[in-house]
Structure formats: C-alpha cells, structure tokens
Structure 1
Amino acid sequence: MMLPRIQKILHASDLSDNSRYAFRYSAALAKSFGADITVIYVIDELSGTGKSLLLDYLGEEKWKALQEHKKSEYQKTIQTRLKEFCSEVQEDLTDCRVALSRTVIRDGNPAEEILAEIAEGDYDLVVMGTHGRGMVSTALMGNTARRVVRRSMKPVMVVRLPE
C-alpha cells in the first residue's frame, strides 16, 4: 500500500487567531511535502430577510458594488496576513511559498462552501482551526469544523489554539 501524497492543501480561514495558528501547520506540511496551499475564506451569508431588506434599501447595483468591495477588502486582508506570517516564520520557512498561495473567497454558509471547494479542488488535505475549550468545546468544536469533518471525503486536520 502506498503512502498518501500530499500535493494540494486547502487551508480554511476565518481570519481569527485560531486560523492563524492553524496556518502554521498548513505551512509546515506544505514545506515538508512540497505541497501548494490554497486559502479559502467564506463571507457568511446574510439571512434571507436581512438580504431582502438591504436589497430593498440599496438597490441591486449598490448591493453588487458593496459585495465586490467587501471581497476586494477580504482579499487584501488575507494577502496582508500571509505576508505578516511569512515575516514571522522566515527562519523556519526560508522560501515561504505560502506567499504564492491561491486565495478563494466565497459567499454563503461556511461549511457548505468549504465542502464545495473540497469537492471541486482535488485537495489532498484540509487544515482548519477550531474554537472552544472545556465543556463548551464539544458543542463548539467550531460548528463549521465539525460539519466539515463529518462530511468531507478528504482528510481534515483540525487545529486547536493552545491554552
């Protein structure tokens, strides 16, 4: 039986400290295996009612412009965070190939969109952070993380922020 080849890693990010910490694992694995990393960020969808109210208030064109602006801002934030990460770990990751990562930004339910990207992207491994400690941690493995782990057809590494 052959060992699995890890060439494509999907790092699911919500731009939190947990996600930033988990990214260290994505980067270390990418370095060890010579893998590429794709970062996915999902803009949580408004409820149907909230979206409907905003559409009525803003109109279709302003709504679309606002959505594009939001995606552009998230793209800049993710790229800035990747650069910050590279400078933090420069000693350990000399080439910091993560700076060349592909970034995917989707709108919708985070778990559903991450699962859709896994299905479309032919990834070998998914890495994501999770929240919660103590009693609450079971309920909050991170609802998104728990749903992705349950339904993903690919291995998922869930990284908890240390105490």
Structure 2
Amino acid sequence: MYESLLVATDGSDDATAATAHGIGLASDLGAELYGVAVVESRTEYDNAIVDPDERERNLRGAAEDSLAAFGERARAADITAETAVRSGVPHEEILAAADRWEVDAIVVGARGSSEFKRALLGSTVDAVVRFADRPVLVVDGEGEGDVDENENEDENDAADSVGIDGT
C-alpha cells in the first residue's frame, strides 16, 4: 500500500497523534519514514516589537524539539526516520519535502499549535490536502491523550483519522 510516509509535525497534540499514527503505519507496512517540521516565514501580521532573529531562533528550537521527539518515538518502534527542519510557508515546505523524498502519503495533524488554528481544521492542513498529489492522512488527536504507536488499532475506529479529498 504505502512504501514511504512523511509525517509533518509542529509539536501540537494533533501532530503528536499524527506522529504515533504515522509510526504505527510505517511499522505495520514496513514503510520508510520521514519527518518534517517547518519554521514559518515572517508574515505581515508579525508583531514589530518582537525581534525577528529571536523569533526565528525560538521557532527553530521548537521545530527541532518536535523532530527530536518524532525521532525518539520512531527509534522506540525500531524504525529509522530521516528528518528535516525547513523554513518557509508550511504547506509549501511540507509538499516540497514529500516531493524531495518521493513519499507515497503524507500524515498530518488536523490542527496546528496556535490557539486560532486549534479552533478549526488548520489552514496548513487544508492547503496540504488541496494541493497534494498523493494521499493525505489527517489525524485528529483531540481527546486521544497518550497514544501508543505499538498498540493494535481497531480497524473500525474512525475517530483516529479523518479523510479529506479536497473536493
């Protein structure tokens, strides 16, 4: 089915659930696993009071922490994963990573780490789903708590992921 998977992470609860789901799939399928975290480019909405270099350092540190946690979970499941921190527009960088690694599917959390993004399906996820040329698995981690990637999942449990086809 899938020989390679890309998991996009930002450290949010949903991204953590997506990590567990992606690692579980990679383990079950014997698939190659990749992880990406994106440091979002400065936007016109950024607060001019915040030092852009400090903001970049903080965001890069958070992205590196997210990927370190991803790598630890993958190693715990006996999976080797290649990871990268990218800078830019999140959905564009996620799609570029999928192209670069030629993955068969992308796994993302339903919502990002910001308060606003937690209220709705994340705008990054929406753009990934709309523009991806391969399957995108959207994982909703709300109410999931700690997810054990080694646990066998019930095939009939539709609450773990939401399929979106972009139409």
TM score, norm. by length of structure 1 = 0.68
1:129 counterpart residue number: 109
* 3-state DSSP of counterpart to 2:16: helix
Select which of 135, 141, 147 maps to 2:121.
141
Q: Is structure 2 residue 12 aligned with structure 1 residue 16?
A: yes
Equivalent positions of 1:46-125 (< 5 A) are 46-47=42-43, 71=60, 74-83=63-72, 85=73, 93=77, 95=78, 97=79, 100-125=80-105
Equivalent positions of 1:2-41 (< 5 A) are 4=1, 6-41=2-37
Structure 1 spans left out of the alignment, 5+ residues? none
- Cα gap change, 1:44/1:33 in structure 2, threshold over 3 Å: closer, same or farther? same
- Cα gap change, 1:48/1:119 in structure 2, threshold over 3 Å: closer, same or farther? same
CA contact (8 A) 2:36 2:84 kept: yes
Give the aligned residue type for 1:102. Answer: E
- Cα gap change, 1:48/1:18 in structure 2, threshold over 3 Å: closer, same or farther? same
> How far apart are 1:86 and its partner, in Å?
5.7
> How far apart are 1:13 and its partner, in Å?
0.6
Higher share of residues assigned helix? 1
2:163 counterpart residue number: none
- Count residues in correspondence: 139
* 3-state DSSP of counterpart to 2:23: helix
Structure 1 CA distance for aligned equivalents of residues 40 and 141 of structure 2: 22
- Residue deviations 1:15-60, cap 9 Å, x none? 1111001111101110111111111100011126969998xx89xx
Structure (1 or 2) with the larger CA radius of gyration? 1
CA contact (8 A) 2:111 2:125 kept: no
> Sequence identity of aligned pairs in percent?
26
2:141 counterpart residue number: 161
> How far apart are 1:150 and its partner, in Å?
0.9
* 3-state DSSP of counterpart to 2:11: coil
CA contact (8 A) 1:10 1:126 kept: yes
